[in-house]
Every structure is written in C-alpha cells, then in structure tokens.
Structure 1
Amino acid sequence: MPGAVVGLERVVMNGLELTLLRPLWLLALPVLGVAGWWLYRRRGGLGDWQRASDPALLRAMVALGRVDKSASGAPLLALLAALGLVVIGLAGPAVERRDTLSFRNLDAVIFVIDASPSVTEHTRWPQMLTMGRFGLAALGTRPGGLIVFAGDAYVASDVTLDHLQLGQTLSLIGPETVPDPGSRPERGLQRAVEMLDDAEVLAGDVILLTDGAGLASPSLQMAWAIAARGARLSLVALDGVSAGFETHAAAGQGRVFTLDQTEDLATWLSSAARTQLEQQDYPLLFWQDVGRYLLLLALVPMLFLFRKEVA
C-alpha cells in the first residue's frame, strides 16, 4: 500500500478491532463529500451544455428527443463511492496477524553483567541474579544473550531462544568468571552492540547490571551508540542509584531499575517490546493491511461509469 506510516489508530466495529496504519488519509473523506455535493448541485439537467449551447438549438434537440434531461445521479454516486473506498483503503485498515509473536525475534534482549569482584562478592549479588532471572522469565518469545565483563568483556551466551540455557549460564557467573581485573562497562556495551548487529536485530534492549563502577565518558558514548541503532539501554543498580545511572539511561533511551523492581523490569521487557518496534515504523510486522482488497472493491461501482448505451 502506498504512503508512509504516520501512526496507528484503533477502531472497534461490532467486536472486530481494526487498526488504521495511515489514519491521516481519512481527512480526504470530508473533502470528497464537499466536492460531491458541489458537483451534484452544479451539474443540473444538461450540465454545462445549457450555458454553452444556443437556446433555440437546445429546444429543437429536445423536440427531436435527442436530449435526456433525466440527469441520473448514478454515475456521480458511483464515482464518489469508488473514490471513498480508495481513500479508506489508503488509510490502511489492518487486522492483527495470528503469527504476531513470531516476529518478536527481531527484538532481542542482551544482558550485560558486571562480574568484577566488587559485584559478585557483594552481599546483594544473589538479589542481582534474581533480577536477571526475572528479566529472562519476561522475554516470552524474544531471544536473549549474555555478556560478562570486568577488565574486559566476553560473550557468555550468544543470542538464543533457549531461555533455560541462559538461566543456567547466569547462575554460574561468579568472581572467577572474568579473569581480567577492573571494571570496563564500555567493553561490555560494545560487545552488546556487536551481538545485536551480528544477529541482525531490528530493535532490542540492552540491560546493564552493575554497581556503577566505570560508568564514565566511554560507556556514555556506547549508550548513545545503542540508542542510535534503535535499541535501548537500561541499567540495574546493585546498591543505590547515582547520577551516572540516570545519565546513561537517558542517553540510551532506557530506564534505571533497583533490585526491588523485579516486576517493573519484567513489564518493561514484555509489554514495551512490541511498542518499540511499532514506533520504529515496523507496524506491518504485527498487522495485516487489508486496504488492498478495498481497492479491488472500488472497481465494482466504477463499472457503472462504463455502461454501454443501446440505441
């Protein structure tokens, strides 16, 4: 269907929910109605011939039966009906696809976990693992991946739909997982961007679980890079939220979560996933545009415009 997607408008008719992919096209319907009314009032019995022709000649032709003054409005109504159906078709009426969930594999979630001793040896580390498990449980049909970092970053699990495997790998992370000393979150975020690119993910979420160590200019640049490719960066704070958390979340167009916000994280990863793809002009992944069938239906009233006169 032609025309860019400018927004989604839902309409419920007799229990059937329709979504208009291009609702601004409906603005043409009032214009079409005014134009039809003007043409109907203007055309008269003989249209413009009554003004352009000699009155005596017209009277003679009427006497000979060569002028039809019935002025049927059927052709005009047929034309308006056809144009109305075309306009509604261009508005993009759509119904939800049955296989909607299968398209969510275009929207992956990458968990980037700080495995430095300051995190894994913290008393709240078990709560951090619980937060990660809640996030995995909320993925539904979205694939996920795991990256661990300390002084360097490594892929713990590539993008996969096997959430059980992800959960098992998450449980094995400990102080000895990453041998490199330090805390370099920018390395983990860079790996996340590479993972999204390799998996050809259209959108996505990156969840950084950290105590905030190492959040600085390099990691902030990676937050901007994640947002620039259509993904979102959110952070889970181990123990208190600093200004660095808020700055990175704002740059990555995500949120900051604390360890007591497990339900909020689950909601963020489940209900917000589809909205994110729709906002990036991928609504046809979820809706089947039926406007093309209205264009075919518009051919029916147009048949009245091609009727053959039999002498």
Structure 2
Amino acid sequence: MSGADLTLLRPAWLLALPVLLLFAWWLYTRRGGLGDWQKASDPALLRAMAALGRVDKSASAAPLLALMGALALIVIGLAGPAVERRDTLSFRNLDAVVFVIDASPSVTEDARWAQMLTMGRFGLASLGTRPGGLIVYAGDAYVATDMTLDHLQLGQTLSLIGAETVPDPGSRPERGLRMAAELLAEAEVVAGDVVLMTDGAGLGPASLQAAGTIAAQGARLSLIALNAPSAAFDTHAAAGQGRVFTLDQTEALANWLSAEARTRLQQQDYPLLFWHDMGRYLLLLALLPMLLLFRRQMS
C-alpha cells in the first residue's frame, strides 16, 4: 500500500472523552455570571456594587472552551494517532556461522579431540554479532543448537559433545553439510560460513556435492582437520570456496571468521511496519488554547 494510513496506537484513551464532556457540562451548569461569587457574597453587597458598575454579569464561555479544548487535544494525543510508514528501510544481519562437528568415536576419542574443541572455541569467540549454530553428526546428523546469538550457550554445548552424543554409528559428513545448508536457508542467510570439524572420514562425492550446494547459497565451507589434511580436504574447501585449517591455526581461523568475514547488511525484501506517532504534536497544540486561560485583562 502506498501513502499513509492513520490509526490509533492507544485507543483506550478515547474512553476519557465522554467523561470529559460530562465534566464540561458540570462546570458550565455550576458557573454563574459572577463566577460563583453570588453564592459566597452578601446579596445586598453585590447589588450595591452592581449599581456602581463594578460588577460584570456577562458570562464568557471562552475560558471554559479553552480548558476543554486543551484537555480534549491531550486525550486525543495520548490515544496515539499514528501514520503508517511502509517505506521505512530496515536492515538485518545476513551473515551466520554453522559449525558441523564429527562426533563419531574416531574423532571424539582421539588424543587431539581437546585441541579440536579449542579450535571450536576460538571460532565461537570470533563470531562477534554473527549468529551461530551447531550440528553434530556420525552415522546421522542432528541440530545441537539452532541459530542463536547466545555464544555462551554455543560454547557450553560444544564442550558437552562426546562419543555418546550421536548414537548412530558411522561417519556421514554429507548429512551434516546438507543440514547446515538447510539451516542457513531457513535463517535466510546469504553470506554465511560453514565450518566442518572432522578427521576426514566419509569425505567423498556426496559431501563434495553438499559443499557445492553451500557455495551456491552464497556461504563458504571451511574444514578443520583433526590430523594432517588429505587431498579431500583441499577439494572440499575449493568446492565450498573456503579454507582448510589445522589444529595449530587458531588465530587464522579466528581471523577468517571475523576480519575476513563477509558480514553484510542488506535491505530486507519485505517491508516492516512502522508507525510515526503524531500524539506529541497534539500535546504541543494543546498549549495554544491554554494560553487563553492566562490572558491579561487590560483596563
């Protein structure tokens, strides 16, 4: 929809308008031409002053109208009349990182597993404002932690991964990579990173195809090798447009995921709904009729 629509953000305040009308009627019926002095003064004194021309019996409704007008404007302002703004630009972080971790016994029971976890912690520490997720796999793949900005939770989950985490025997990295691609697609990530932490078991044509799928989505696939990386590591990194890291390259991994990360902000392809509250301007406008209540009488 183009243009602007008017709505009330706090319509319950309009319930005060009938009360305000009753209050105005009560004030009007109680006020006399002498401002209730007739009830407080001696009638003979008032007649004498009237004979001397010192009493003005005209009853001007201007002060009452000014007061009620100001109060009505205040009530309407508190109701929050707002203009719909559909052309407001909004941005979101389209960059995320998914760690795909081989939790098979050949990895988690290896003497270098602690170093692999250290690499993972360095990677998590370098995420900054990027959301992250964890996927574990062996004979099958599972989402350990969905996309989140709670990096502390990610680190705690990472520390708990062991040989008993995935009950399915085997090593099927292609399943973990496919799940990572689905996770990035569901989060509408267009510039993410996938980090595969593995000993290389199961890398083959199926996982290579999954690497190409990740790259086609605009993400990068990098691999952390538990042992000396084989040629399959380089092949997968090339297909995924990423890099291969060894366990002694913690700083390089952190730099890859932070300084060299393609964190991009992109205008969303659907408009968010914004409202511009006009009530504050009505509160300022209410000051104008109130000025009439403070006018000076010039003799």
**TM-score (norm: length of structure 2):** 0.58
Deviations 1:166-198 (A, max 9, x none): 000000000000000000000000000010011
Deviation at 1:271, TM superposition (A): 1.2
Q: How many residues align?
A: 179
Deviation at 1:202, TM superposition (A): 1.7
1:271 aligns with 2:252: no
Rounded Cα–Cα distance in structure 1 between residues aligned with 2:132 and 2:187: 11
1:195 aligns with 2:183: yes
1:109 aligns with 2:97: yes
1:209 aligns with 2:209: no
Deviation at 1:135, TM superposition (A): 0.1
Q: Quick one: which amino acid aligns to residue 205 of structure 1?
A: D
Rounded Cα–Cα distance in structure 2 between residues aligned with 1:172 and 1:277: 32
Rounded Cα–Cα distance in structure 1 between residues aligned with 2:220 and 2:264: 12
Counterpart selection for 1:258 from 219, 232, 246: 246
* Structure 1 outlier segments of 4+, above 3 Å: none
Question: 1:153 aligns to what?
Answer: 141
Rounded Cα–Cα distance in structure 2 between residues aligned with 1:179 and 1:124: 21
Matches within 5 A, 1:115-194: 115-194=103-182
Q: Quick one: which amino acid aligns to residue 245 of structure 1?
A: F
Rounded Cα–Cα distance in structure 1 between residues aligned with 2:100 and 2:139: 13
Deviation at 1:277, TM superposition (A): 3.9
- Is the partner of 1:118 in helix, strand or coil? helix
Deviation at 1:268, TM superposition (A): 0.2
Question: 1:237 aligns to what?
Answer: 225
Rounded Cα–Cα distance in structure 1 between residues aligned with 2:97 and 2:166: 21
Q: Quick one: which amino acid aligns to residue 144 of structure 1?
A: G
Rounded Cα–Cα distance in structure 1 between residues aligned with 2:106 and 2:238: 25
Deviations 1:74-98 (A, max 9, x none): xxxxxxxxxxxxxxxxxxxxxxxxx
**TM-score (norm: length of structure 1):** 0.56
Question: 1:49 aligns to what?
Answer: none
Uncovered stretches (5+) of structure 2, i.e. residues with no partner: 1-90, 269-299
Q: Quick one: which amino acid aligns to residue 213 of structure 1?
A: A
- Is the partner of 2:154 in helix, strand or coil? helix
Deviation at 1:266, TM superposition (A): 0.2
Deviation at 1:273, TM superposition (A): 1.8
C-alpha RMSD over aligned residues = 1.7
Q: Quick one: which amino acid aligns to residue 181 of structure 2?
A: V
Deviation at 1:152, TM superposition (A): 0.2
Rounded Cα–Cα distance in structure 2 between residues aligned with 1:218 and 1:134: 29
Deviation at 1:272, TM superposition (A): 1.6
Rounded Cα–Cα distance in structure 2 between residues aligned with 1:277 and 1:219: 27
- Is the partner of 1:119 in helix, strand or coil? helix
Rounded Cα–Cα distance in structure 2 between residues aligned with 1:149 and 1:135: 19
Question: 2:209 aligns to what?
Answer: 221
Could you say which structure has the higher helix fraction?
A: 1
Q: Quick one: which amino acid aligns to residue 136 of structure 2?
A: V
Q: Quick one: which amino acid aligns to residue 128 of structure 2?
A: G
Uncovered stretches (5+) of structure 1, i.e. residues with no partner: 1-101, 286-311
Matches within 5 A, 1:295-306: none
Q: Quick one: which amino acid aligns to residue 200 of structure 1?
A: E
Rounded Cα–Cα distance in structure 2 between residues aligned with 1:124 and 1:178: 19
Rounded Cα–Cα distance in structure 1 between residues aligned with 2:151 and 2:94: 16
- Is the partner of 2:214 in helix, strand or coil? helix
Identical-residue share of aligned pairs (%): 76
